[in-house]
Amino acid sequence: MTTYTTLIILSGLVIFSYLFDLVANKTKLPSVLLLLLLGIGLHLLVDKLNIKTFDFLRILPALGTVGLILIVFEGSLDLKYDKKKNKLIKGAFLAAISILLLSVIAITGIIYLITEKDLYLCFVNAIPFSVISSAIAIPSVSALNQKTREFIIYESSFSDILGIILFNFTISNAQISFSSFTSLALSTTIIIVLSVIACAFLLYIMGRISHHIKFFLIISILILVYALGQSYHLSSLILILAFGLFLNNADTINYAWFKTIFIYKNLSTDLKQLHQLSAESAFIIRTFFFVIFGFTMNIYELNDFYLIINGLLILISIYIIRFTYLAIFKKEHILPEGFVSPRGLISILLYYNLPENMRLPEISTAFLFMVVLGTSLVMTFGLMTSKKNVKPINTNSV
């Protein structure tokens, strides 16, 4: 494959992704689903033409991690804090943690019935299937009303963060003890303190960088801090969410010393440019990630009858738990929010970060692919059948 052929393919994928976004805005058909199908189609074409390709699985985790950071950061930059939204934020947090834990328990039971392996291993393998993907959920609800968007942004971001915390805690503590929880409390405190320091530092240098290249520097520092935190099993996604919220709400902090040190003349202009850059960067990374994930899947493995039945059991459990919780505790967010429970980028990242000795052969990548595809299809159905209610984001409140 020549250099020019590679460039044609890459630019073609970006163009297709842009067209998919236009289709998504008109039809509520998630662009991620179209990207997955494009990847599958390319795989079938390459197989038919007998073309040798690169082992894309080697770059998928890194690509997905950058995509996750950018998508959560972009979503948080849309959020303007208001005391009136405390109830919504609290509700989104409780929904995220409750649905996550109930889903993990239910899916652990299903995996145990499938494999009859140790419950600890079943629990660890259940976590990737239990986390809502903000990378899919946030872009998919962009055409819905503001109240729905706010709930989904917060809930899916909290689900990602809590899922990572639970995953790191579980794989690090095969035997639960008092020291396990003290270690968790310590790591959470460290990442919160680190988030406060990083937020203040990044805003400070934003106002003092005179070089014409500064936003990619800020994003690079964010990625660096995230990677360092994750290396020490800290839930660094908290930092990403916190920094976006902090930037978009810094002008509402009414302390004279704070405004003197951190608030500068061009802050609002810089925020618009940073948001645009992060949105376009997230668009590019998301495009390549989901096309590559679709490309790496062997759809012929989906011919396994038992895999389909077991995958359907997980899908059914996901939506029974979600709709039951929303119907009892969040009646104002049943439809279409009940359908917005996609598994995707975060599930894939957690799955590939499972240590080899903890992976269960029966819970294969084909199994993961089916759940990702299934939840995307259910979300598509829910969004396409919901009433169209589009309102622009109010930048004065979340």
Most confident listed range (25-29, 154-158, 228-232): 154-158
N-terminal to C-terminal alpha carbon distance within the chain: 48
Mean pLDDT computed over every residue of the chain: 85
CA–CA dist 370, 306 (Å, integer):
12
Residue type, 326: L
Q: What is the mean pLDDT of residues 214-218?
A: 87
Residue type, 194: L
pLDDT in tens, 84-134: 888 888 999 999 999 999 999 999 999 999 988 899 999 999 999 999 988
Residues 351, 287 contacting (CB under 8 angstroms): no
Task: List the single range of 1-5, 39-43, 240-244, 342-346 with lowest mean pLDDT.
Answer: 1-5
Global confidence as pTM = 0.82
Q: At residue 11, does pLDDT exceed 50?
A: yes
Domain boundaries, the chain: 3-385
Q: What is the mean pLDDT of residues 179-198?
A: 86
CA–CA dist 249, 243 (Å, integer):
10
Give the pLDDT score at 124: 94
pLDDT band at 387 (very low <50, low <70, confident <90, very high): low
Q: At residue 27, does pLDDT exceed 90?
A: no
Taking alpha carbons only, the member of 135, 130, 212 closest to residue 163 is 130
CA–CA dist 240, 176 (Å, integer):
29
Q: What is the CATH number of domain 3-385?
A: 1.20.1530.20
Give the pLDDT score at 392: 43
To the nearest whole percent, how much of the chain has pLDDT over 90? 19
Give the pLDDT score at 397: 35
pLDDT band at 396 (very low <50, low <70, confident <90, very high): very low
In degrees and rounded to multiples of 5, residue 275 shows phi and psi of -65, -45
Task: List the single range of 18-27, 285-294, 310-319 with lowest mean pLDDT.
Answer: 18-27
pLDDT in tens, 131-149: 998 878 887 787 778 888 8
pLDDT in tens, 259-301: 888 888 888 888 888 888 988 998 899 899 889 988 888 777 7
Residue given tokens 């012929």 in the structure block: 300
Most confident listed range (160-174, 177-191, 205-219, 305-319): 305-319
Q: What is the mean pLDDT of residues 376-380?
A: 88
